[in-house]
Amino acid sequence: MTTIYRVENADDNGPYVPSDVTLRNGFDRNRHNNDDTHPGYFQDKILLYTVDNIRRYHFGFSNKRQLRTWFNIKERKFLSDIGYTINKYMVEAKHVVKSERQAVFLREHATFVEHYEVSEF
């Protein structure tokens, strides 16, 4: 089993789903629009060449370091202030693809373990 950490709101959406709110109000656009530090699906070569149908997958992190690197302290505070938490899931390894900066997983094969306040990270 593989541990996955995912930042989610009460509707189980990640912070990029309501992108007009989170990216505009709480994230440094220069950091989050940088292919080297925050690669999207097409820039992350491991995901691009391994995952056939990315729309089936949810994005998360395979460890706490990845999450802390992706979202800095200021951004984590902002996410906490607007109701996001960090949910921990266990997923069979065959339903997870890990890259250097992030991971994707099939939610239907994930088991929720616990949630953390974003400030705990």
DSSP secondary structure of 61-101: BSSHHHHHHHS-HHHHHHHHHTT-EEEEEEE-GGGEEE-SS
pLDDT tens digits for range 38-49: 777 678 777 777
**pLDDT class of 18 with cuts at 50, 70, 90:** low
DSSP conformational letter for 56: G
Rounded to two decimals, what is the model's pTM? Answer: 0.87
pLDDT tens digits for range 64-117: 999 999 999 988 998 898 889 999 999 999 999 999 999 999 999 999 999 999
Query: Per-domain residue ranges for the chain?
Result: 2-120
